[in-house]
Amino acid sequence: MNKAQLVEAIADKLGGRQNAADAVDAVLDAIVRAVVAGDRVSVTGFGSFEKVERPARYARNPQTGERVRVKKTSVPRFRAGQGFKDLVSGSKKLPKSGEVSVKKAPKGSLQVAAKKAAAKKATAKKAAAAKKTTTAKKAAPAKKATTAKKATPTAAAKKTTAKKATAPAKKAAAKKTAVKATAKKATAPAKKATAKKAPAKKATARKTTAKKATARKK
């Protein structure tokens, strides 16, 4: 039985072929999406669909017999329920065509399942919102830290520039003091020389007075 035949088989129960096709498509799509997301789809009396992880392994090519490495993959798996197994094995008799072979869900179970699904979605939304808030809080201190780090090098740069600016001033002051010291050293010998020349003038004055005295005696 293929999909078209399955639709034809349930068309009378669902009020037409189009309704049956839409129902089959909706059921298969829901199962596939749930299994891809990692959820397990279980139908009581029929079986369960789930996603199984297969680790990396070595296999042999059936045509060449060569050993080939197979990567890690995920595959869907269907496990038949006990009621389905019993019907296939013949331990239980298959109901008539008008009756349902799979056990019906108990009353209220569908509503409970819908509530559980809604609760899961709500918790997922809350978890996503909590993650966003935590990431935002963590990002804010990081920005402050980066601004502080950026500010400290500017202060250090200012200190270095101030040191560079004061260094030439100190050198200029040292040069001025050296020039003053050399000037003092140069003026000191000049003063001594003038002091030594002063007695010579006194000696010439004495000589002139002695000449005048001899002239008067004559």
Q: What pLDDT was estimated at residue 133?
A: 75
Sequence-distant (6+) residues with CB within 8 A of 86 are 92
Q: What pLDDT was estimated at residue 67?
A: 93
Query: What would the pLDDT profile of 122-152 be if each residue is shown by its tens digit?
Result: 777 788 788 777 766 766 555 554 554 554 5
The answer to whether residue 173 sits within a structural domain is no
CA distance 39 to 35: 5
The answer to whether residue 210 sits within a structural domain is no
Confidence (pTM): 0.48
Q: What pLDDT was estimated at residue 49?
A: 96
Q: What pLDDT was estimated at residue 94?
A: 86
Query: What would the pLDDT profile of 26-41 be if each residue is shown by its tens digit?
Result: 999 999 999 999 999 9
Neighbours of 20 (CB within 10 A): 19
Q: What pLDDT was estimated at residue 58?
A: 93
The answer to whether residue 53 sits within a structural domain is yes
The answer to whether residue 67 sits within a structural domain is yes
Residue carrying the six token digits 């297969």: 54
The answer to whether residue 144 sits within a structural domain is no
Report the domain count for the chain: 1
Alpha carbon of residue 180 to chain centroid? 65
Burial label for 44, CB within 10 Å (0-12, 13-18, 19+), is: middle
The maximal CA–CA distance of the chain, rounded, in angstroms, is 186
CA distance 97 to 18: 22
Strand boundaries in the chain, DSSP class E: 41-43, 47-54, 57-60, 67-70, 73-80
CA distance 170 to 136: 52
Q: What pLDDT was estimated at residue 194?
A: 45
For the chain, the first-to-last Cα distance in angstroms comes to 175
The answer to whether residue 188 sits within a structural domain is no
CA distance 31 to 42: 10
Q: What pLDDT was estimated at residue 140?
A: 56
Structure token pair of residue 77: 């798996």
Structure token pair of residue 118: 């809604």
Ranges of the chain whose pLDDT falls below 50: 109-110, 145, 148, 151, 190, 193-195, 197-200
What is the pairing mode between strands 67-70 and 57-60? antiparallel
CA distance 24 to 30: 10
The answer to whether residue 126 sits within a structural domain is no
- Amino acid letter at 128? A
The residue segments making up the domain with residue 25 are 3-89
Residue 11: which CATH number? 4.10.520.10
The answer to whether residue 77 sits within a structural domain is yes
CA distance 213 to 23: 160
